[in-house]
Chains A and B, each alone.
Chain A
C-alpha cells in the first residue's frame, strides 16, 4: 500500500496559459471572438482547479493465484482508493521476460467509481480497479512488478507523484512433458505398487507353475498341469511392489537461448525440469516413491515419498531452481544419504565435467543408473545462434564453433559413461526409457560387484 501527493500536469498548464492568453488578448484588443476561443480552456482550467484532490491516494496490488503452471494465466489487480476529486488510475507494470501481460506492456487505465465500504475508504472516497492478465511463459519464480501507479484528477489537471509498489512473486510450475513408460522399474523392493519384484507373491505377472502348498488360493490351481501330473499344481506370480526412483537434476548451467517463450527452442534446463516433472508424475501415478536431488543449485533435498502431495512438492522445488546458484557444490552433496533407490535417473545435458564424475560415483555405488540426456539440439549450428541476442564482439559463427568443440567433449563423456556400464538415453518424451529400462532390468538380474 502506498500514498502520494498531487502535482500539476502539462495539460492544466496548457489550459491555464491558453485561457489566459485568449482572455488578455480579448480585453486588450476588444475582441469578443477571442474570448469565445479562450472560453473552453478557461472552463477546463477552472474545472480542473475546483476538483483538485486535497488528500493523497492509496494504491495496493493483489496477485490472483500465486502458483500457476507454464502457459496458464493469473491476474494482477491494482486497486486505488481515491480522494474526492481524483477520478482516474493509470498503472504501469515493469515487464518481465518470463511473463506476458494483457494489456500489452502492462499499462493500465481505470476510471473511478464510488468506493464500497472498506478499511481505507472514507466518505466521498472513490475507488478505481485495474486488472492485468499475467501469462507465464516459462517455469520459475518471476516477479510481477514493480508497479508504478498514478492517480489523475478530472481533465487530467493534477496527477499524483509516481506511486511505486513492490513486485509480487509468482511461482510458475513446470509443464509436464508427455511421458509414459511400459517397461518395469528394476529392483522394485517396496510393499505395494505395480512393478514386478524379484520375489514371488500375490501379483499379476506370471512366475511359474509349482506344486500346491497349504495356504495357496484355490483359484490359482492350474487344472491342466494338475490333470497331467496327477497332483495339484498352482500358478505362482511375482509380487507387485513399488520402487524408489531417485531423480538427479543437473543445474550447473542452463544451455541454449534463454527466456523459453512459446515458439523458442527450450534450453537444457527447460528440458531437464520438464522431463523431471513428467517422470515424477508418471512414477507417482503408478504408486512409486520418488526422491529429487538437484546438483549445482541451491535446492532442498526431497526424500522419497509417494502420492500427489509429493508431486506438488517436487514441482515446487523444480520451479525454484536457479541454475548455478550453488557455486561451491561439485556434486558430492547429491551423493550423500541417497538411501537405496531402485532406479537413479540423472537428467543432464552432460556439458559440465563435474556431472560426469557425479554420475560415475552414483554408478560405482551399485545403483541402477540411467542418464537422460537433455542437451538441446542444434547447439553447434550457426542458425541456432543467429536468432539469439549475443554480447558485443561475439558472432553466431564463433559461438557455434565453440559449441561444436564442447559437443565433442560431451561425446567423449557419453562414451566414458557407457564404457562403465551407465546407459545414456536421449529425452524424447513418450517411451524414452522403455528400451533402456528393459535392457537394464535384464542386466540387473546378473550378479555384480558394487562399492557401498
Chain B
C-alpha cells in the first residue's frame, strides 16, 4: 500500500521541518487526553470460547490465546475484555441470529418489541425480529459521531458488495435527532471500496484553488489562536478569562471538526489489492475495505468508521485452502486442513464437521478474522499523525461479535478486543476479565473515553442491563 510509505515519510519530514509540530494537533490530543477516532470491526458467529478466552494473569497482564495469535505484533496495543454479555435478545421474539445481531451495536430494543413511544411491549404484543427490523436506538458508532460532531460514520461491509436486505445482518442505526424514535433509519452500508474512494476521497488531493489552500491551513490557524487565547487568559480578570475560555473551547471544537485534513492526508490514491475483485476472495474484500477505511480516517473524511462481515453464512473461505498466499500467512492466517470450508453456518452449530471447538475449519476461519483485524491495526499504526503518534495511538478500535459461543446462539461472554491507546487515555496490553457486565456498559465506557457524558447506553429497564461502565476502561 503506497499510501502507507508516503505517510511515514511525510511524518518524518514534517518532524524535521517543524519545531512546533506537536502544536498542530488539537490541544486535547496533545495533552494525551482524548481519542480522535473510533472504529468498530464486527465478525459473525461469535468464537470458540475455550480457544479465544485469554488466561487470567496477575495485574491484568495479557497473554494471547491461540485464536488471537495473529494479534501478537500488536499485543502492547490491546485490551482484551472477556465476560461482556448482550442481554437484549431475551426481550425479543427471534430466530437464533436476528435479535443478537440487530441489538449488538445499539444495546437497545428492535422495533418489533417496542411500543411507538419506545417502551418495552409486553410478551404477547412482541412480533418476530426480521431481517429488515431496525433497532429503536442509535448504534454506538452513530451516537458517538453525533456527540463528537464527526461527519457521518463510514459503515463498510465485506462479504458482499451488493448489500441487499437478505445479506444485512448488523443493523447500524444512525440517530436522527428531532424525530420520535428517529433512530430507526437504516445506515448506509458500503460494500465497494471504489465507491468510498470516489465519493469521499477523490476530491481531497492537493488543493488547486486559493481558497482551498488557505482552508488547508485551518489547523495551523486555529492552533495559533488557541495558543494566543491561553496566553491572554492568564492576564485578564476572572470574568474576562471565563469569556476567553469559552471562546477557546469552541476553537478546539472547530479544530477537531474542520482541521483534520492537513498533514496526515496527502494525495490519496485508490490502491486496490492485485486481483481485486474476484469471486470467493473475501480476503481481497477485507484488504481493500480496510485500506480505504484507514485512508478515510487519515484524511478526515470522518472520525468514526466500521467494517462488518455482513452474512451469517460467513465469507467463502476457499482462499484459505492450503497453501494460503504469502501475505495472508504473514498476517497469521492458517490454512484449512485440506478440504474446503463449506457451509460455515452449519459447522458453527456442529451440524457438520464435528464438535465445533475441535473443528479445524472453524479454527482456520476464526484465525482468518483475527488476521484481518491484525491487518487493520497494522495499517493504522503505519499512519504517523502530526502529534508524532500513530493513527492507532489516537483511536479506539473495537472488535466484537454478536455471539460468545456461536454454536449455542449464546450472547453471553462476547469476544471483545479493544485496540488503541485512546489518545493516551487507555493503558493497553491488558486482559480485563469482567464477568456480569454488558454491551451497554462497554459502550458507556467508550463514550466516556471521548468525553461524551454517559451513565448508560441503550435499554435500562432491568437492573442487570447497566452498571455504569466497565471498570478499567
Q: Do A and B bind each other?
A: no
